[in-house]
Structure 1
Amino acid sequence: MKRGLSLKWLVVIAFLVQGLILVVGYSFLTAHYLIQGMDNIVTSNMEQVAHHYLKQAANDSSKSPKQYYDYVVTSQWSALPKEVKSLFKQSEIIPNKLFKAHLPEESPPKVKFLFHAIIQNQKVYVAYSISRSTASALTLQNISSDFRTLIMISMLSALSLAVIILLLSWRLGRPITRLGEWARTLASDKLHQPTPNFNYPELNAFAELIRSNLKSVQETTEREQRFLRHTSHELRTPITTIRSNVELLKKLDAQQNQHHSQAAIDRIDRASLTMKHLTETLLWLHHDRAESLPMTECQLNVVIQHLVDDMRYLLASKHISLNVKTQPYTLYLPEAAARIVLGNLIRNAFQHTWEGSVSIIQQQNTVQIINQQLPSSEKEDLGFGLGLQLTERLCQRLDWYYRNEQQANGHFVTLVFPDPKQA
C-alpha cells in the first residue's frame, strides 16, 4: 500500500510553518521599529543641536563649523569633515531627513549620521558619529537588553505555538484514530449496535453515516442473495418437470411412432437445457466464483441454427430479409455461456430491426451479426439494448473478443471465441 504524509502531520507542519513565519516576521518588524525609534531619537537630538547652532550664529558672524560634544554643525557643505563628504553625496541629501552609513571595517565599528535641517530658511548640516567606545554604557546596556528580550519573546512565542499545535493535533488525532479503527473492525454483527462517542459532533455524524451506509449495503446484499436463492430454487422445479416430461414424451413417441411431435419435443428439450444452463451461468457470474464453467464440445454452426429457429417468431409481421451463413465447426468451450451470448445478440438483432435486413455469418470461431434498418422505417430503435450488459460481462469474464460497432442504420457485432487450434 502506498503510504504518504498523513493528514494529521500535514496540518501540524502547515500550522507550524505558518506560525514560525509570523513569529519571525513580527520579530524582524519589532527590530525594525526599535532601530527606527533610536534613529528618531538621534534625529531629534541633531535637530536640537541645529537650533542651538543658529541661536549662537546670530551673535557670531563666523561661518566656521562648530562642534558640540560628538556633533559637528555647519551651514556650508564644504565645511563638513572630509570623511562625512566621502560617505554622502550632496545631491542625494534631502532636507529634514536622517542619513546614516555603517562602517563595519573600522575598529571599533562606527555609524555615521548626517542631518540637513532648514530652519527659518537657513540651511544647517549636522554630522554625528557613534561607536561602542563613544556610546554610553547605559545606552549599550539598554540596546543589548532590548535585543535579548526581543529574541527571548520570539523563541517563547515559537515554542508555545508549537506546543499548542501539537497538543491540539493530539487532542483531535485520538478520536480520529479511534474512528478509523472502529470503521476497520465494523463487522455485520456490529451494524445494529449504536455508534461510539468520538467526542465531536462532526465525527459522530460521520461514524453514523458509515454505519448506516454499510447497513444499507448489507441489507441490499442479503436481499439479492435471497432473491437468487429463491429464483434458483423456484426454477429447479419447473426445469425438473420439463425434463421428466420430455423423457416421457420421447418414450411415448418411440412406442407410437409419432414423429410429427419430434420437432416440438426438441425445442422443449433445448428450452429446458437453456433454463438450466442460464440459471447456473447467472449464479456463477453473480457470485464471481473462482471455478470455471463446464467445458464441452460445441458445434458452433448447429447452436446458431437452433437459436435462429427458436427466435424466428420475433420476425413475424416484419419486412426483414434474413441471411444466415454457417459452416461446420467444433469448439471446446462453455456451451451454456455461448448460448446466452449468441442468444442475446440474435434476439436483439431481431427485436430492434423493423424493416431491413439481418445477416448472421459464422466462419470457424468468428461470428458476425449485422442488422440494417431501412431509412424509411418509422421505428428508430436500432440498438442492441437487451442483454447487452450481461453479454459484455460474460465476454469479459471468459476472455472472449466482443465488439459492437454502431453504424448509420444499424449495428455490426463481432464475436470471436478462443480456439486452441488457431493458437
Structure 2
Amino acid sequence: MSIRTYIFALLTSLVLLIAVILSYQSARLFISSFDMVIEDTMLEIAEQYPEQGKVEQEILEYHVTTDWQKVPQPVRDHFPVIPTETEKLHSKFVDWAYIAPPKKIYSILVVNRDGKQVFVSRFNENIHQEMEEDHEDEFFIDPMVMIVLAGLLGIAIFIIVLLYVFKKIALPMESLQQWAKQLKLNELNKERPDFRFTELNELATLIHGNLASVADSVEREQAFLSYASHELRTPIAILRSNSALLEKVNP
C-alpha cells in the first residue's frame, strides 16, 4: 500500500466517523428540541385546563382530563398504567425509521395540580398522510433526511478537496522520484529542478549531495588505479626482462 492510499483511507475514515457522530448528535438535538416544545405546550395546558367544573377538554389538538379513564383509548393502549414520572413528556412511536417520521405517535404528560392528576395527551395515527396533504403542491424533504444529506454532502466535499490536495502534492513527489531515477553521475553539474515544496527540495539536495559524494569517491578510485597501474609497469617490465635473461642463461 502506498503512503498516499494509506493517508487517504485514514483521513476519509476519520472524517466519515466525525460526520456520522455529528449527524447523529444533530438528529438527537433536533428531536430533543421538538420534544421540549411539545412538553412546554402540554405543561401550560395542564396548568390552565380543564377549566373549573369540567372533567375534560380539547385544547389545540391536545386532550386534557382529570380522569384517567377519559384519556383516549389509543393512548391508554400504549400506556396501560399511569406514568409515575410527572411533568415529563412520555412518547411512543410506531414504525419509526429514525430518518423519517413515524407512522404513529402517542404522547402523554401527567401533572399534579390542586390535589388532582391532570392528564394531557395527544396521538396521531395518520402522520404520513397528513404530511402528504400539507405538502401536496410543494417539494418537501424531512428535516432528518436533510441532516443525513448534509452529512453526506460534507463527506463528499471533503473527499473531493482531499483528492485535489493529494494530486497537488503527488505531482511534485512523482517528479522527484523520476528525477532521482534518471540522475546520472555525468549529469550532476546540471541545474536541479524545483519541486515546489521546501521538504522535497531539501530531499532532492540530499540525494544530489550523496550522489556527488559517490561520484567523488569513484573519481578518486579511478585516479588511484590509473596511478597504481603506471607505477607497476616498470617492475613488471624488469621482471619480464630478468625472466627472459634467465631462460637464455639456463636453456
TM tier relative to shorter chain: 0.7 to 0.9
Higher strand share: 1
Q: Which one scores higher on RCO, CA 8 angstroms, separation ≥ 6?
A: 2
Q: Does the 8 Å contact 1:77/1:90 carry over to 2?
A: no
Higher helix share: 2
Partner of 1:128, secondary structure, is: strand
Partner of 1:129, secondary structure, is: strand
Is structure 2 residue 59 aligned with structure 1 residue 68?
Answer: yes
Q: Does the 8 Å contact 2:83/2:110 carry over to 1?
A: no
1:84 to 44, 66, 75: 75
Other-structure match for 1:162: 159
> TM-score, with normalisation over the residues of structure 1?
0.48
Other-structure match for 2:200: 203
Partner of 1:95, secondary structure, is: coil
Other-structure match for 2:99: none
Is structure 2 residue 186 aligned with structure 1 residue 192?
Answer: no
Q: CA deviation at 1:164?
A: 1.6
Equivalent AA in structure 2 for residue 70 of structure 1: E
Q: CA deviation at 1:116?
A: 2.7
User: What is the correspondence of 1:32-181 to structure 2 with a 5 Å cutoff?
Assistant: 32-53=28-49, 56=51, 59-60=52-53, 64-75=55-66, 77=68, 80-88=71-79, 90=81, 93-104=84-95, 109-118=103-112, 123-130=117-124, 131-132=126-127, 137=134, 144=141, 146-147=143-144, 149-151=146-148, 153-181=150-178
| Number of equivalenced pairs | 241
Q: CA deviation at 1:101?
A: 1.1
Q: CA deviation at 1:23?
A: 3.2
Partner of 1:114, secondary structure, is: strand
Q: Does the 8 Å contact 1:73/1:127 carry over to 2?
A: yes
User: What is the correspondence of 1:216-255 to structure 2 with a 5 Å cutoff?
Assistant: 216-245=213-242, 248=245, 254=250
Equivalent AA in structure 1 for residue 193 of structure 2: P
Q: Does the 8 Å contact 1:195/1:204 carry over to 2?
A: no
> TM-score, with normalisation over the residues of structure 2?
0.76
Q: Over residues 279-319 of structure 1, what are the superposed CA-to-partner deviations in whole Å (9 max), with x where a residue is unaligned?
A: xxxxxxxxxxxxxxxxxxxxxxxxxxxxxxxxxxxxxxxxx
Q: CA deviation at 1:51?
A: 0.7
Q: Does the 8 Å contact 1:102/1:112 carry over to 2?
A: yes
Gaps of 5+ in 1: 256-423
Equivalent AA in structure 2 for residue 101 of structure 1: K
Gaps of 5+ in 2: 97-101
Equivalent AA in structure 2 for residue 126 of structure 1: V
Equivalent AA in structure 2 for residue 19 of structure 1: V
Q: CA deviation at 1:233?
A: 4.1
Q: Does the 8 Å contact 2:107/2:122 carry over to 1?
A: yes
Q: CA deviation at 1:156?
A: 3.7
Q: Distance in 2 between matches of 1:207 and 1:151?
A: 46
Q: Distance in 1 between matches of 2:222 and 2:112?
A: 99
Q: Over residues 144-199 of structure 1, what are the superposed CA-to-partner deviations in whole Å (9 max), with x where a residue is unaligned?
A: 46456545533443332232222212221221121112112111222122311111
Equivalent AA in structure 1 for residue 103 of structure 2: P
Identity of aligned residues (%): 26
Cα RMSD, aligned residues only: 3.5
Q: Distance in 2 between matches of 1:88 and 1:241?
A: 120
Q: Distance in 1 between matches of 2:216 and 2:186?
A: 13
Q: Which has the larger radius of gyration?
A: 1
Q: Does the 8 Å contact 1:102/1:111 carry over to 2?
A: yes
Q: Distance in 2 between matches of 1:30 and 1:161?
A: 19
Q: Distance in 1 between matches of 2:241 and 2:116?
A: 130
Q: Distance in 2 between matches of 1:168 and 1:39?
A: 43
User: What is the correspondence of 1:341-420 to structure 2 with a 5 Å cutoff?
Assistant: none
Other-structure match for 1:29: 25
